[in-house]
Amino acid sequence: MNELPDHIEALNRLLQTRQFGRLCRWYDAVDSTNPIALAWAKDGAPTGALIVAEFQKRGRGRFDRSWSADPGENLTFSLVLQAEAMQDNLELLPLALAISVAETIQQNVEPHKPSIKWPNDVLFAGRKVSGILVESSLPADGARHGGCVAAGIGINVNQSTFPSELTGIATSLFQVLGRRVDRFALLADLLLSIESVFDVLSAGGQEDILQRYRTLMSGVQKTVRFERMGGAGTTEGTILGVDASGALQVRTARGVETLRAGEVTFRTEIPERSPVVRLADSSPSQKSG
């Protein structure tokens, strides 16, 4: 686990944030950046402290899945968020982070338009290009004081091929664009965007976040099969949108149901929102859900 000071300097030259990413640890290889962020947060690292890894040996995804990404080609990082700074915005945080990722990618690759598959998978040309894992360590009494959050983000940037089991599921910016993307510039832009959505949330701008989310959300009015976690069976339903807490609203045979992130997964063939320049294979552990 060697630190890479030249990478930190390269990022610093591009950073336009007040706080996010200003304190940074960039490693060649770690197990996963999320537990490092949580441990650092407990040691007093401030909101916005950043852990980046060139390679994760045990990258984690939602639902205990893994997240694998080729070394040196992608972005895999976690941000420290002190829970006090989060106020009551923890529910919308994963959605807000997905907005930042999708909007930042869009700025960097216009005229292509990424979309978001609820709750926080970012799709590019209909395939998963980014996953987000928010993990928290909160006091048992539910108090915010002393609690902390790791916002872990993986973006497939310049990876050229993926394992065959991810064909049709995962993609990278490189695969769609047919050119390499500057990871440092992308990360600097993304940190600025995350700082801004964090400011919006902190200032009570939940409605603004939800509106931006709805603009980017894919699958609305699609009928899909939801798999309930813990072997609780499947349900078919039509996606209606998200409610004020970021939960998914679905019309099923039983009426309108509210599904929370962590309770269900679903697969859907997402219609293309952008012209596809080039598509190639895709990757595992990066299943959307």
> Contact positions toward ligand BTN, by CB under 6 A?
32-34, 56, 59-62, 65, 67, 76-78, 121, 131-133, 152-154
Q: Tell me the closest approach of the beta carbon of residue 130 to ligand BTN, in angstroms.
A: 8
Tell me the C-alpha distance between 133 and 127, whole Å.
Answer: 18
Nearer to ligand BTN, 30 or 206 (CB): 30
> For the chain, how big is the Rg over CA atoms in Å?
18
Nearer to ligand BTN, 86 or 98 (CB): 98
Strands, sheet with 264-267, edge to edge from the N-terminal-most edge strand: 255-259, 248-252, 234-242, 223-228, 264-267
Query: If we measure between CA atoms, which residue out of 34, 144, 140, 94 comes closest to residue 262?
Result: 94
Q: Tell me the closest approach of the beta carbon of residue 133 to ligand BTN, in angstroms.
A: 4
Nearer to ligand BTN, 37 or 176 (CB): 37
Q: Tell me the closest approach of the beta carbon of residue 34 to ligand BTN, in angstroms.
A: 4
Alpha carbon 111 to its chain centroid, in Å, reads 21
Tell me the C-alpha distance between 60 and 272, whole Å.
Answer: 28
- Spatial neighbors of 253 by CB under 8 A, at least 6 apart, are 236
Tell me the C-alpha distance between 66 and 31, whole Å.
Answer: 11
Nearer to ligand BTN, 59 or 237 (CB): 59
Nearer to ligand BTN, 86 or 134 (CB): 134
Q: Tell me the closest approach of the beta carbon of residue 136 to ligand BTN, in angstroms.
A: 14
Tell me the residue ranges of DSSP E strands in the chain: 24-27, 50-53, 75-82, 115-117, 121-124, 127-137, 148-155, 223-228, 234-242, 248-252, 255-259, 264-267
Alpha carbon 180 to its chain centroid, in Å, reads 21
Q: Tell me the closest approach of the beta carbon of residue 33 to ligand BTN, in angstroms.
A: 4
Nearer to ligand BTN, 154 or 246 (CB): 154
| Polymer length of the chain | 289
Q: Tell me the closest approach of the beta carbon of residue 154 to ligand BTN, in angstroms.
A: 3
Q: Tell me the closest approach of the beta carbon of residue 53 to ligand BTN, in angstroms.
A: 7
Nearer to ligand BTN, 92 or 97 (CB): 97
